[in-house]
Amino acid sequence: MNSATNQWLLLIISLPTDSATVRMRIWRALRNLGCGSLRDGVYLLPYSSMQQQALRALAADTVREGGSAWLLIVHAQSEDENDAYRALFDRTGNYLELFKAFATARKTLTKLAPQEITKLLRKLRREYEAVREIDYFPNDISTQAEATWMDFVNVADKLLSPDEPHAINAAIARLELSDYKGRTWATRRHLWVDRVASAWLIRRFIDREAHFLWLESPDHCPADALGFDFDGATFTHIGDRVTFEVLLASFGLEQDRGLLQLGAMIRALDTGDGFVPEANGFEAILAGARQRTEDDNHLLNEMSVVLDLLYAHFSNNLQNSERQK
């Protein structure tokens, strides 16, 4: 949202009085959109086509239920008036509530089972993203909230996935696919983002006859196995690349832009570096899959379907973008 905007959407509604259910539904929709209230029945949002579409649908719903509604585009008449409108969208209070929730949850993390940590993460992620969605004028507290949230996620991820690898500084050697057929590959058990995606990549593009070992501890990796995604493994984090991206570079797969976009998604989830819209959905599906099974072979098979679909999605999007140029 442009901080200098002076264009606003004004919704004036009169709700039906004979249905408390309808009134509550419309009020909740207004709250979820983050509307500012000028007075009873008069609501404001910064102008955008998306906000306009949402308010238009809400106005139509109001009229359909027997109320009345007018949606207008208005302009602030002065900078002071514009600042007064912007003040209606100060989310400091919302973020302070989130800070309290993060602090309270963090005190309990070490006492929770993995399934409980995952459930708590999903709950807090929904609450955090709900505030971000209506934070039309981000400021310093928005930045602080993002840092606090990422810190909380990192702590939770370390509990869910202990023994996460530390990045090393090294050159990535180019390897021949023909030398890596029918090999044994090993990583830490209880697969999470980078490990499950790397295992999919290995089986799908590198070694279709791969045999996987899921290790209780990296120390248990056999000498003849190709370890991945742990300290001292054959393939692990190098520089700012996660294991998935190191595998791409090692086997010359970086020309595949669909795989590159998958790699960006894995890095965003694994390190917090960057943003890919599909990342949260993938993480939620993986968390759900982990709750359904403790068998990593079964988990890999289930998530391979998801990764196949995401790969097709990213590849098709890039092809469509190229055609439109």
273-283 pLDDT per residue, tens: 888 889 989 98
Alpha carbon of residue 121 to chain centroid:
12
Q: What is the dihedral of CA 59, 62, 68, 70, to 10 degrees?
A: -10
Distance in angstroms (rounded) separating the CA atoms of residues 228 and 242: 11
The pLDDT assigned to 260 comes to 96
The pLDDT assigned to 34 comes to 95
Percent of the residues in the chain that have a pLDDT greater than 70, as a whole number = 96
Q: Which two tokens stand for residue 238?
A: 């190098």
Name the more confident of 118 and 51. Answer: 51
pLDDT at 1 over 80: no
Distance in angstroms (rounded) separating the CA atoms of residues 195 and 260: 16
The pLDDT assigned to 5 comes to 63
Distance in angstroms (rounded) separating the CA atoms of residues 38 and 30: 13
Max CA-CA distance within the chain? 75
Helix H or strand E encompassing 45: strand 42-46
- What mean pLDDT do residues 131-154 have? 92
The pLDDT assigned to 116 comes to 87
Q: Which residue has the tokens 């050697």?
A: 173
Total H helices, total E strands in the chain: 11, 7
Percent of the residues in the chain that have a pLDDT greater than 90, as a whole number = 73
Distance in angstroms (rounded) separating the CA atoms of residues 29 and 268: 31
Q: Do residues 269 and 279 make contact, with C-beta atoms less than 8 angstroms apart? A: yes
pLDDT at 15 over 90: no
165 secondary structure, DSSP code:
P
Name the more confident of 134 and 160. Answer: 134
pTM: 0.59
pLDDT digits (tens, 9 = 90+) for 84-112: 999 999 999 999 999 999 999 999 998 98
pLDDT at 3 over 50: no
Where does the pLDDT of residue 2 fall: very low under 50, low under 70, confident under 90, or very high at 90 and above? very low
The pLDDT assigned to 7 comes to 92
Where does the pLDDT of residue 321 fall: very low under 50, low under 70, confident under 90, or very high at 90 and above? low
Distance in angstroms (rounded) separating the CA atoms of residues 276 and 314: 11
Q: In this structure, which topology does domain 7-87 adopt according to CATH?
A: Alpha-Beta Plaits (3.30.70)
Name the more confident of 309 and 293. Answer: 309
Amino acid at 265: M
* Start-end of CATH 3.30.70.930 domains in the chain: 7-87
The pLDDT assigned to 294 comes to 87
pLDDT digits (tens, 9 = 90+) for 189-204: 989 999 999 999 999 9
169 secondary structure, DSSP code:
-
The pLDDT assigned to 18 comes to 77
- What mean pLDDT do residues 40-47 have? 94
